[in-house]
Structure formats: structure tokens, C-alpha cells
Chain A
């Protein structure tokens, strides 16, 4: 059973190595001429001002948090979805209850404007 996963591991390793090779080739073959202007961060020709790791909109955090909630829900739904044919009424109703609770939260988010970008 577990030996089925060995090819996956080997393949992942090979994928990593094969994407490492072009990068290594590029580093080895390309020239390197340091230059103050060339190495400075791109800002439309201006001298870069302020730190570029600046403050950004809090809504990106909000999206990330919403993502965690829904992604966990998906992870929770996966095993249920596979086994739904064998679960019967109890399995169906408990997941329906879970979805109802989640939908209430979703409607609340929507009403609060957490999903609006403007």
C-alpha cells in the first residue's frame, strides 16, 4: 500500500532537480556586471524612496483568514464526499447541519461587507 507512494516521492525529487538545473545553468553561464543603478529596485526610473516592504491593505489579511476557514471546510468535506453513498441519513444530516452553520457565517460576512473590495 505505502510502496505505491514511492514513485510519487521519486518523481517529486526529480521535478525539483530538473527545475534546479536551468537555474544553475543560468547562474553559471550568464555574465555578472554589478552596477548601482541596475541593481536598485525598479521604480519607473525614480530613485527608490521609502522601504519597499511597505504597509498594505488589511483586506488581504481578511481574504487570507476567510480562505483558511473555507479551505478547512473543504478538507472536512473531502472524506465525507467520498463516502457519502455509505453514510445514510445520519451522515447526510450532520453535514447538512455543518453546511448550514457555515452558510450563516458566509451570509454574515457578505452582509458585513467583508467580501467587498471597494
Chain B
């Protein structure tokens, strides 16, 4: 199968081939993002004892396509006094980084686009860029609601990025590498070796900070409908609005994938170290139960579901509560944990040193 494929693509130059793969991947990612919106509406529907969208296509599966087509043919209003260039650039600034970050995400040991040593730095840089889209949108709209929403959002994202960064420092100390593939391989062993257990406070911090970074409920004061209507994208319509909407879901998928990689062993199988190793050598069952990209996808889907679940469950935080949680709870917790981990590593004690 693989040989046949390689003989088929052999005549094309490798760079062109890589670009084709990337293009296909980005298209698949777009489809995933579009269907994440449907998943959210369906999951929220079932959690609130209603059906959710189920009219377009079988079981409502055509809904994202219908939405995309509709928004594409809608007018993109440009408010007067708005900064024309920045107003049009802002949706790109929030969408592009959320996709670009996938360049370094490993799906399995050898399945990635770029295996670079500074992978985590690149991820940190790309996720930080997302805040520009929000600020630029709020400022360029020339609307009070948009400006207030973007300021709230910027302060919130920035506050939780600190906690997120400290959580990453903890992961780096435990793994000793910035390469995402190496970080996953360091977690090998069993489900109890994955960093969620030895770095439990950091895992929770990362997950909470991730939800706050993506401006999701319960931290969605940015678009708190009851006070500032829709926040930073109140002036956007048509495709401009759709891009912000999609960027939010692209960020959710990205944060879920990162949580799976950094704390839940990425593509590693949870059965490792529990069932005897001989099981993994069985023909079909072995491939299914053994480590592979499917586990990574499953873990990512689990975290995406958590995002939707939290939205259905928790009431919205007040803004001062959000800032207090970020600065006064998460930041001290991570600081303390880094010191604890540093002492353990220096004394060469388990569980981080072996």
C-alpha cells in the first residue's frame, strides 16, 4: 500500500508534495473546525434536553456547509470611521496562527510536518499571536462595545498566558526537551507516567488557562451578551464574523491537542504497561490497542468535548473573579509547583527523575 503510493508520487518534487499534503491537512482541519461548531450545538442541545440542529441533511450533518454558504453570500459591512485595512486584517490575524501552529504537532512518532527542536516555543509564539486579532478587531471597529470587549479580552488572555507559560515550564523540566515528539516519548511507560499525574496541578492550570485563552464559557465575559452584546466582533458580519467564529473553534481544537500531547501522552496507548506486551503484536487488535495517531485523535476529541461540557455546566465568571483566579490562584500554584519540581529534580528523586 505504502510502496504503491510512493511509486505514484515519486515523479513529483518533494517540496511540492509536502505542500500538497499540507494543503489537504489544512482543508481537513477546516472541516473539523466547521463540524466542531455543529458538535457544540448538538452537545449543548442534548445537555439542555433538546435536539439541536437536525434539519439540514441526515442528522443535521449538512448544517456547517449550509452555514458557511449562507455567510459567504452575506454583506460584509464596513462601519464608517472604521480603519478599513485593520478591520479586514483582524479576522486573518486570529485565524491564521490557530492553523499555523499545527505545523509542529506530531500525530505519531513519525507522522508530523516539521520535527523541530523549538517546537514548544513555536507553539507558544503562535498561540500568543491570536490576541492581536482580538485587539485589532476591537480598535478598528470604531465602536464602544468592540473596544471594551477587546480590552477585556486582551487583559484576560494576557493574564492566563502567564499561568499557561509556567505550566509549560513545568512540563519542560520534567521532559528536558522543547521538541513535542520527545515530550510525548518521555511520558512512555503506562498511563500513570503521563504528565497528568506527576504534574497534576499544572495539568489543571493548563486546562483552565486554555479555556480562558480561547474566551470560552465560563470565562466568556469578552462576548458577554448581556453587557457588551458580542464584544470585539460586534461590528463584523458575513464572512468576517464567520472567521472569528471559526478561529474560536480552531483554537479550541489546538488547545485540546496540546493538552493531549503535553499531559496525556499524545499518541501513546493507555493500555501500555497494563495488558501484556504480546497483545500489541497481534495483527489487527494490536494496531488498534497499541500506540498510534488514533489515540491522539481520541484524546483531543475528549478535551474538545470537555470544552463543550464546561460551557453547558458552569455559570459565567465575573470579570474581577476571572482576574483573581488568574493572578492570585493559578500563578502562585504554578510557581510553587515549579519550585517543588526543581528541588525534586536537583535531588534526583522520582517521579520526575528516572
Contacts and interface: CB of A to CB of B under 8 A. Distances in A.
Nearest to A86: B176
A29 interface: yes
Decide if the interface of chain B is mainly helix, strand, loop or mixed: helix
A108 interface: no
A71 to B, nearest CB: 7
A43 to B, nearest CB: 7
Q: Name the interface size band of chain A.
A: 35 or more
A14 to B, nearest CB: 5
A30 B75 contact: yes
Contacts of B88: 23, 27
B74 A19 contact: no
Contacts of B26: 14-15, 18
Interface stretch (B1-9, B148-156, B296-304): B148-156
Interface residues of B, number: 86
Interface in A47-73: 48, 52-54, 56-57, 59-60, 63-64, 66-67, 70-71
Nearest to A67: B158
B341 to A, nearest CB: 9
A99 B339 contact: yes
Given A11-B114, A41-B81, A99-B335, A30 B238 contact: yes
Contact of B176 (A27, A43, A84, A92): A84
Contact of B240 (A26, A29, A31, A39): A26
Contacts of A74: 162, 165-166, 168-169
B316 to A, nearest CB: 15
Q: Which of B145, B235, B327, B335 has the most CB of A within 10 A?
A: B327
Interface of B: 15, 18-19, 22-23, 26-27, 30, 71-82, 88, 91-92, 95-97, 99-100, 102-104, 113-117, 121-122, 139, 141-148, 151, 154-155, 158-159, 161-162, 165-166, 168-170, 172-173, 176-178, 229, 234-235, 238-240, 242-243, 319-320, 323-324, 327-328, 331, 335, 338-339, 342, 345-346, 353
Q: Which 7 A-B pairs have the closest CB atoms?
A: A26-B239, A117-B320, A11-B103, A74-B165, A81-B172, A15-B99, A41-B143
